[in-house]
């Protein structure tokens, strides 16, 4: 198993507040991984900062290279037949989408989780940090289908990106491939690091 010498994205968020440039670079890396996974029919089902590992970056564009890890709860197309009529609770509540609380496991739930991660990278806090119990959170997700509040201090492009990730209707959420072309990633990514090759 590959050794991740710098820990996880969760560790990084706890120790320092990331700049918008870093958020863009790391979101771009996560999206590239998700796009590849989703094209192969894999849904991670538990995407969160603690499951994204940090490795030394060799290109100088970013401090770290990110890799998605821990596929213990992931689902593939082959799992669909075995999951019929069976609701399985998968994921970490802080990053779960409303439909995943009810047992649905499609690629769009990873996109919701990504939105929560971008908020956490940008603010240093979990959006749902003020809940005393996970049951309160799950109730809010499952019954009210509420999305995390998008912080006011974020740039317009970042807010629009998050709106595409956190749509209540999973069919209306953008795919990882679509999000790679979003202005938050494309224009600002190119402006922030014009010499980077990814």
Helices (H) and strands (E) in the chain, counts: 9, 2
Inter-residue contact 53 to 66 (CB < 8 Å): yes
Q: Could you please report the per-residue DSSP string of 53-81?
A: EEEE-SSSSSSEEEEE---TT-B-GGGHH
Helices (H), 68-141: 80-83, 98-101, 107-123, 134-139
For 17-37, give one letter per residue: b (16+ CB within 10 A) or e: ebebebbbbbbbbbbbbbbeb
Q: Has 46 been annotated as catalytic? A: yes
CA atoms within a 13 Å half-sphere pointing along the CA-CB vector of 43: 22
What number of residues does the chain have?
A: 198
Catalytic residue among 46, 50, 83, 152: 46
Enter the DSSP assignment of 40: T
Burial tier of 85 (Cβ tally within 10 Å: 0-12, 13-18, 19+)? exposed
Joined together, the tokens standing for residue 81 give 């037949």
- Residues with active-site annotation: 46
């Amino acid at each position: 198993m590959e050794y991740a010498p710098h820990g996880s994205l969760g560790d990084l968020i706890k120790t320092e507040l990331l700049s918008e440039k870093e958020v863009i670079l790391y979101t771009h890396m996560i999206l590239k991984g998700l796009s590849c996974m989703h094209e192969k029919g894999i849904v991670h089902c538990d995407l969160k900062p603690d499951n994204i590992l940090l490795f030394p970056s060799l290109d100088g564009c970013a401090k770290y290279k990110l890799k998605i890890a821990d596929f213990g709860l992931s689902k593939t197309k082959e799992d669909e037949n075995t999951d019929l009529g069976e609701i399985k609770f998968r994921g970490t509540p802080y990053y779960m989408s409303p439909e995943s609380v009810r047992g649905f496991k499609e690629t769009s739930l990873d996109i919701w989780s990504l939105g929560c991660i971008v908020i956490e990278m940008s603010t240093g806090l979990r959006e749902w940090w003020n809940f005393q119990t996970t049951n309160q959170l799950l109730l809010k997700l499952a019954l009210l289908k509420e999305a995390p509040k998008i912080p006011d201090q974020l740039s317009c492009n970042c807010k629009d990106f998050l709106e595409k990730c956190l749509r209540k209707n999973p069919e209306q959420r953008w795919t990882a491939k679509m999000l790679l072309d979003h202005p938050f990633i494309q224009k600002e990514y190119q402006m922030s690091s014009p010499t980077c090759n990814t």
